[in-house]
A and B are shown apart, each in its own frame.
Chain A
Amino acid sequence: MLRQIGKRLATAIPSLIGVVVVTFLLTRVLPGDTAAYFAGPAATPQAIAEIRAKLGLDRSLPEQFVSYVKDLATGNLGNSLSTGRPVVTEIKARLPASAELTFLGLFLAIAIAVPLGILAAVKQGSIIDHACRMVATAGVSLPVFFTGLLLVYVFYFLLGWAPAPLGRLDAFSSAPPEVTGFYLIDSLLARDLETFRASLAQLAVPAITMAVFSLAPIARMTRASMLAALASEFVRTAKASGLTPTTVIIRYAFRNALLPVVTTLGMVFSFLLGANVLVEKVFAWPGIGSYAIEALIASDFAPVQGFVLTMAIMYVALNLLIDMLYGVIDPRVRMEG
């Protein structure tokens, strides 16, 4: 097992090196002159040149790359030019915010989509099946900023159930002492139920927004792979042995249908984590997506590099996790190892 994980990690190293090279090159070819941007509109050419020299941008690309890799080796992702703070610190602070939102959104989506997909497959052609199709189509075709705004309008403005969509906590609470960076967990660890409630209230609407969007692929995939599993010969054997419908559906069909569902989950998760800029913007969420997009607009390349690298590492870790899950679910995958 450990050897297998080691092997998988080893195969990830070339892709990580590729990511380092590509992000470095990409940020260099992005339009916009970083030095000119930070010197301000009124700066003289000399001032711009000075800043450029200070940033090291006047050196050749290979030279810049070597110093970038050297910094990287010491865990230094550089400083953000717009905030002046180290990128590592920023990402450390913002990644948990995005992750907490994503996890909760994904959890909600799974909790709804998987049972819905199973039911839709078991009762194919029934009302539930049509409902599943409708929910999935609606969820995937409504843009997240629209769902987000709609939910804010209904739950905050009309009903007043949700707090103002302004970040992770309302103005009256303070952040719990940091352990994991997830406010829900940290507040529970600190036995601060008030903060827990406040952060949950802030989380609920954006998490639902994300869930609505990610419902569709999960429900559709669950339904499709369940249909295939239910039509298989071993399900027929199970039925012919008189096993109860619950056993047949869960233990025989669903466990076999899990592989494609897990694959889809991995894809949905990585997509949600990095690409939910719109949700973060709508809810003023201090997440990693909005951080990256702001940096990109400002031609501030250090945070962009840091963001892409973080995402790449997360993606590799996620794929490793999924591969291990495959092994847990399907003994045949273990053999190939």
Chain B
Amino acid sequence: MTAALPLLDVRNLTVEFATRRGIVTAVEQISIAVAKGETLGIVGESGSGKSVTSYAVMRILDRAGKIANGTVSFSGIDIRGMKEDEVRDLRGREMSMIFQNPRAALNPIRKVGKQIEDVLIRHVQAAPSDAREKAIEILRQVRIARPEERYHAYPFELSGGMCQRIVIALALACRPQLLIADEPTTGLDVTTQKAVMDLVVELTRERGMSTILITHDLGLAATYCDRVVVMEKGKVVETADSAIIFKSPLHPYTQKLMRATPRPNATLRGLLPEGEALPNPIPAPPANDDAAMLLKVENLVKEYPRQGATTSVFSLFKPKAPAADATFRAVDGISFEVRRGESVGLVGESGCGKSTTSMMVMRLLDPTSGRILFNGEDIGGTKAKDFAGLPQRRRIQMVFQDPTDSLNPRFTAVRAIADPLLRMGGLKGGAAIRARCEELARRVGLPVDLLDRFPHQLSGGQKARVGIARAIALDPELVILDEPTAALDVSVQAVVLNLLQDLKVSLGMSYLFVSHDLYVVRMLCDRVIVMKSGRIVEEGPTERVLAAPEAEYTRELLSAIPHPPV
């Protein structure tokens, strides 16, 4: 029995949701305690109930959800038994929350300063007369540059990282005792993630606050938490100090998660759970310098007209664009090559031009200048809309970032896979196409009996497999992978990455792998290209770049990635 009363004590909490198919238990009999000043991590994959737990603590479950059993006590007060308006007084003042996707978490049509004022005035931390002053002071505390100006900004005028600072400012405005951070950095760049997390830690430490960090990222939990709770399917499977849990995870699920998390010394096969390991990879023929050139990009440039070149009287607080420079170079004269059978990683933060580059290689965008040579022929000169008519079109395919949104919701899996076959496969007859689709499905490990399902009837990993099957349907020579695993849980990501590697070797394809995750790139790619502001800052064999980065920026990227201490 410890002497100190925990700040938050959740016991035997069960949360149920009423759905069309009856009652679903999202969280079952979980017990979590957070001591004063402690940072607790709740880790789990999607559907583990980690967010629902936090909503239950805040009592902001939506209409269908309800706490069916258990107690939630906050510094000795029973939250579950409180009246709604009493809880409302606690929210924002004693415990507050920051959310994933900060831009959506802010009212899009209200000035951010005003939103902070709303909270301050609600909890009587400020009077209307001095609210503005205090709001600006809070903006300063979360390191917003030029807070007097930013006070008048709308969320859409701020970057993702800046929006998350505003959300943190909202949450900490009334100096609460408990902060719940629900995936606070998902969707932010690694360097922004580090800045945001460091800020949260600094502010909460200095105020002696307790924090619950909800995340799917074990690295993040290991770096920032004192203690970690691992959840699986609505249950707590393991609780331990973060120093211990990553060294010697006890529960099989924790072990599986640990293995699946990309980290400095992992191999692709090593990500898979023990016992489920696939046969060792077919040794890839080493990509030697003599291998034929498949793709050669020379001095590629993409310019866009600068946004807001036409001025608006309203936008007084927009960062002023230099008037002379009416265009913006998203991609600023880059050159690189991809050889046959080679995987090249394209790495950088959002806005660095990596997606624009891949779109131009895929010929979905027209380059402003430069050449794109595919098998020695310039395909950059053909207009994007005419490219579909070229014979090279079937040789280049793409796997998209979001496995759900990149499938037509009204196409079954087999129809989606058959799409490229129908358009340019030259196969005749439904039976031949069906047979080809089944072969492809087996190839990507998709059970053939799932082929007639619609995307919403498939899991994330299954949808990713459909997307991959579609991309390899025409035996392409080059596949562009645009963050293909970014939307997947780590254990699914582990499987998909292995699948991609095996397919590459057995089909002799080349990959252009666009990603922000250097560790994932390391496992899959032979060479890596690091981009920043439309230019290449470093290029070389993956092992060399990661072990001994030459560019300052690459070092910065590497050091910002949180990883479990293994």
Q: Which residues in A have some Cβ–Cβ distance to B below 8 Å?
A: 1, 4, 124, 232-234, 236-244, 247, 251-252, 255-256, 327, 329-332, 334-335, 337
At the interface, is chain A mostly helix, strand, loop or mixed?
A: helix
Residues on B with beta carbons closer than 8 Å to the beta carbon of A332 = 108-109, 154, 156
Interface contact A240-B96, CB-CB below 8 Å: yes
Give the complex CA separation of A315 and B118 in angstroms: 39
Residues on B with beta carbons closer than 8 Å to the beta carbon of A234 = 104-108
Residues on B with beta carbons closer than 8 Å to the beta carbon of A251 = 107, 110, 118
**Max chain A C-beta neighbours (<10 A), residue from B96, B108, B123:** B108
Partner of B312, one of A236, A247, A337: A337
CB distance from B51 to the nearest CB of A (A): 11
Give the complex CA separation of A168 and B101 in angstroms: 57
Residues on B with beta carbons closer than 8 Å to the beta carbon of A239 = 60, 91
Partner of B167, one of A237, A243, A329: A237
Give the complex CA separation of A329 and B154 in angstroms: 13
Interface contact B88-A242, CB-CB below 8 Å: yes
- B288-329 CB contact bits vs A (8 Å, 1 = yes)? 000000000000000000001010111100000000000000
7 A-B pairs with the lowest CB-CB distances in the bound complex, closest first: A242-B92, A242-B91, A241-B92, A334-B314, A233-B104, A240-B97, A237-B105
Q: Can you list 9 residue pairs at the A/B interface with Cβ under 8 Å?
A: A233-B99, A236-B60, A238-B107, A240-B58, A241-B96, A242-B119, A251-B118, A334-B312, A335-B312
Residues on A with beta carbons closer than 8 Å to the beta carbon of B123 = 242
Interface contact A247-B118, CB-CB below 8 Å: yes
Interface contact A335-B107, CB-CB below 8 Å: no
Interface contact A237-B109, CB-CB below 8 Å: no
- B224-262 CB contact bits vs A (8 Å, 1 = yes)? 000000000000000000000000000000000000000
Interface contact B109-A247, CB-CB below 8 Å: no
CB distance from A147 to the nearest CB of B (A): 35
Give the complex CA separation of A4 and B315 in angstroms: 14
Give the complex CA separation of A252 and B312 in angstroms: 25
Residues on B with beta carbons closer than 8 Å to the beta carbon of A334 = 312, 314-315
Size bracket, chain B contacts: 35 or more
Known interface pairs A234-B104, A236-B99. Does A241 touch B170 (Cβ–Cβ under 8 Å)? yes
Does B456 sit within 8 A of A, measured CB to CB? Answer: no
Q: A252-B110, A335-B312 are in contact. List 10 more A-B contacts (CB 8 A).
A: A233-B99, A234-B107, A234-B108, A239-B91, A240-B96, A242-B90, A251-B110, A335-B156, A335-B308, A335-B314
At the interface, is chain B mostly helix, strand, loop or mixed?
A: loop
Interface contact A241-B312, CB-CB below 8 Å: no
Partner of A329, one of B60, B90, B101, B109: B109
Interface contact A240-B60, CB-CB below 8 Å: yes
Does B555 sit within 8 A of A, measured CB to CB? Answer: no
Residue of A nearest to B310 (CB): A337
- B106-131 CB contact bits vs A (8 Å, 1 = yes)? 11111000000011001100000000
Residues on A with beta carbons closer than 8 Å to the beta carbon of B118 = 238, 241, 243, 247, 251
**Max chain B C-beta neighbours (<10 A), residue from A4, A234, A242, A247:** A242
Interface contact B93-A242, CB-CB below 8 Å: yes
CB distance from A3 to the nearest CB of B (A): 8
CB distance from A259 to the nearest CB of B (A): 9
Known interface pairs A233-B99, A332-B109. Does A241 touch B122 (Cβ–Cβ under 8 Å)? yes
Known interface pairs A236-B105, A241-B92, A331-B314. Does A124 touch B63 (Cβ–Cβ under 8 Å)? yes
Partner of B122, one of A244, A255, A329, A335: A244
Interface contact A247-B122, CB-CB below 8 Å: yes
Residue of A nearest to B308 (CB): A335
**Max chain A C-beta neighbours (<10 A), residue from B105, B107, B312:** B107
Interface contact B313-A1, CB-CB below 8 Å: yes
CB distance from B55 to the nearest CB of A (A): 9
Known interface pairs A236-B60, A247-B118. Does A331 touch B109 (Cβ–Cβ under 8 Å)? yes
Give the complex CA separation of A256 and B154 in angstroms: 13
Give the complex CA separation of A329 and B63 in angstroms: 29
Does B89 sit within 8 A of A, measured CB to CB? Answer: yes
Residues on B with beta carbons closer than 8 Å to the beta carbon of A243 = 92, 118-119, 122
CB distance from A87 to the nearest CB of B (A): 40
Residue of B nearest to A253 (CB): B107
CB distance from A144 to the nearest CB of B (A): 36
